[in-house]
Amino acid sequence: MAEAARRAPALAGPEWVLALRQTAGRGRRGREWRDPPGNFAATLILRPAGGPAAAALYSFVAALALHDALAAVAGPAVPLAIKWPNDVLLNGGKVAGILLESTGAGTGALSHLAVGIGVNLRHAPAPEVLEPGAMLPVSLCGETGVEVTPEDFLAYLGPAFARFQAQYETFGFAPIRTAWLARAARLGQTVTARTRAEVSVGTFETIDETGALVLKTAQGRRAIAAADVFF
């Protein structure tokens, strides 16, 4: 992400930055992202046409691309799912995460968007280094026996991202939302959404047209724009 920010002002078009070793990985809200050798850490630099709200929906584009790239590498029978808002699960454990960062250009426009993606290809962090309540991490190799290098995985991920990006930019969020829901983890089941201010428990009904999580709770239907979700 740091290298993407350094390169972005000079770029005329999109570019992938692949790190073969990362020593300062981070996730949402500044959390540490551990990245042992052999895992995947890459950032795609884009110049989205819309404002911040439209750019935020690229997390769903990235999740779909990750899901399909992992399925292409490991085979369609491997149990994959997408966890709102930005994780991909394999056998119920977290195998990949997504982080979006942007730089403004004034008047609500963006100068660039960095889509950061981390995948546990070979190694998963030990449970004891995780924060309390965090989802158990898994690796692609550990769960399936499939070994793939970061460079080879990018050869799957790049075209998958381009395919869903073209769909989003041509037809809007609706087909992305439909495809995402078809791959969603715990859809129709009870989940817990935690923000810094409150905790909401309810049935995961859908995501709305802004990408917000929609829960059916005891207090009524709620749309939650940002939260950590627990199963």
For residue range 18-77, what is the model confidence (pLDDT) as tens digits? 998 887 776 666 666 667 789 999 999 999 888 899 999 999 999 999 999 999 999 989
Other beta carbons within 10 angstroms of residue 109's beta carbon come to 14
Within this chain, do residues 215 and 146 fall inside the same structural domain, yes or no?
no
Judging by beta carbons within 10 Å of its beta carbon (0-12, 13-18, 19+), is residue 93 exposed, middle or buried?
A: middle
Within this chain, do residues 118 and 156 fall inside the same structural domain, yes or no?
yes
The per-residue pLDDT of the chain, averaged, comes to: 91
Whole-number Å distance between alpha carbons of 225 and 188: 18
Contact 110, 51 (CB under 8 A): yes
Q: Which amino acid is at 180?
A: W
Least confident of 48-57, 153-162, 169-178: 48-57
Within this chain, do residues 178 and 191 fall inside the same structural domain, yes or no?
no
Within this chain, do residues 121 and 99 fall inside the same structural domain, yes or no?
yes
Within this chain, do residues 86 and 152 fall inside the same structural domain, yes or no?
yes
Strand partners, 217: 202, 220
Within this chain, do residues 134 and 214 fall inside the same structural domain, yes or no?
no
Of 57 and 109, the one with more pLDDT: 57
Within this chain, do residues 59 and 157 fall inside the same structural domain, yes or no?
yes
Residue 147 has pLDDT above 80, yes or no: yes
Q: What mean pLDDT do residues 216-229 have? A: 95
Contact 99, 28 (CB under 8 A): yes
Within this chain, do residues 89 and 146 fall inside the same structural domain, yes or no?
yes
Within this chain, do residues 43 and 132 fall inside the same structural domain, yes or no?
yes
pLDDT at position 131 is 65
φ/ψ of 203, rounded to 5, equals -80, 130
Whole-number Å distance between alpha carbons of 101 and 29: 11
pLDDT at position 143 is 97
Share of the chain above pLDDT 70, in %: 91
Share of the chain above pLDDT 90, in %: 75
In the sheet that holds 80-83, the strands lie side by side as 15-19, 40-46, 109-119, 93-106, 87-90, 80-83
pLDDT at position 126 is 76
Number of domains the chain contains: 2
Residue 148 has pLDDT above 60, yes or no: yes
Q: What mean pLDDT do residues 104-117 have? A: 80
Q: Which amino acid is at 215?
A: L
DSSP state of 146: -
Within this chain, do residues 178 and 207 fall inside the same structural domain, yes or no?
no
Structural domain range at position 203: 186-231
